[in-house]
Amino acid sequence: MTTPTLHPTILEWMDDLAEQGKSELTIAIYRRGLVHFCRWSEQVYGQPFDPAAIIPRDVAEWKARQQTVEKAPPATVNARLTALSRYFKWAVAHSYCRSDPTAGVKSLRPPVRQPKALKETYVRRLLRHIHQSGQLRDMALVELLLGAGLRISETLALRVEDLNLNGRTAEATIRRGKGGVHRVVPLTSPVRQALKLYLKSQPGLQPEDPLWVGERGPLHDRSGVFNLLKKYARLAGLDPDLISPHILRHTFAGRYLAANPDDLRGLAAILGHSSLNTVMIYTTPDADALLSRMEKAEL
């Protein structure tokens, strides 16, 4: 399949993008999208691409062909539409065409994907191995990530005084979460016990000190936590690519809703989300769950 000769205005637009400091990768993605449209336009009309001749129906039909004939993924279609839309906005601004034919064409809504989470067997194997290691800080850190759903940034920002482990209800105070939101997160018994054991092993820590310390001092770098998790995954014979602090947060959310299916508001409060729409992603069943429900309906 031959690549169409790009219209001079497209080349001019790409030169403008380069002068604006756009990356070579971004320009290459835009170029591929425009090449795809120009090739389609030339095949349909039998004449070279002319920006002034393109109408909204052309863009809509091009988009539909990608969906039905090419079966392109929504992300691919949207990337091409973005390239075409930005080119035509520029072309209108430079009087190369009178109107933007992409203005009324909407991008595709990608399928809602349930966030990645660890299976329960993976969780048990990981926790068992970490506990067997005897590393109290690592035990407390993973128990907190998995048992309270904190973000890694929130976890690393904790100071000793942010924990209340001796009251009737154990809790961690997040003083500046995402968006600067202050919240208090209850801590379950396993999390409380792991934190108590860790703090007992660090008698020199003062209330204002960073919570997480090791042989090299305070733990500030999130990459250190990533490496720690992957190390334990490998030692436990598990796939290290399946684990990260964010996946532990998603795992907590999934486990919480499995036990409390109607408590989206409670989950949002724990995770620090201001909108219930954000936690709705955890209610989306995967294909296996949908199949199971459909089979039940057949009985």
Catalytic residues: 151, 178, 246, 249, 273, 282
For residue 221, which amino acid is it?
D
Alpha-carbon span 141 to 132, nearest angstrom: 15
On whether the CB atoms of residues 151 and 278 are closer than 8 A, the answer is no
Cα angle vertex 246, ends 241, 247, to 5°? Answer: 55
* Beta strands in 145-209, from DSSP E residues, in sequence order: 163-164, 171-174, 183-186
On whether the CB atoms of residues 41 and 54 are closer than 8 A, the answer is yes
Beta bridge partners of 174: 183
Cα separation values, 199 from 58, 143, 177, 211, 223, Å: 66, 14, 23, 9, 23
The CA-to-CA distance between both ends of the chain, in Å, stands at 52
Q: What's phi and psi for 3, nearest 5 deg?
A: -85, 125
Cα angle vertex 275, ends 271, 280, to 5°? Answer: 75
Alpha-carbon span 137 to 195, nearest angstrom: 8
* DSSP H helices in the chain: 8-19, 24-45, 56-68, 74-93, 120-133, 136-148, 152-157, 189-200, 222-235, 245-259, 264-271, 276-279, 287-298
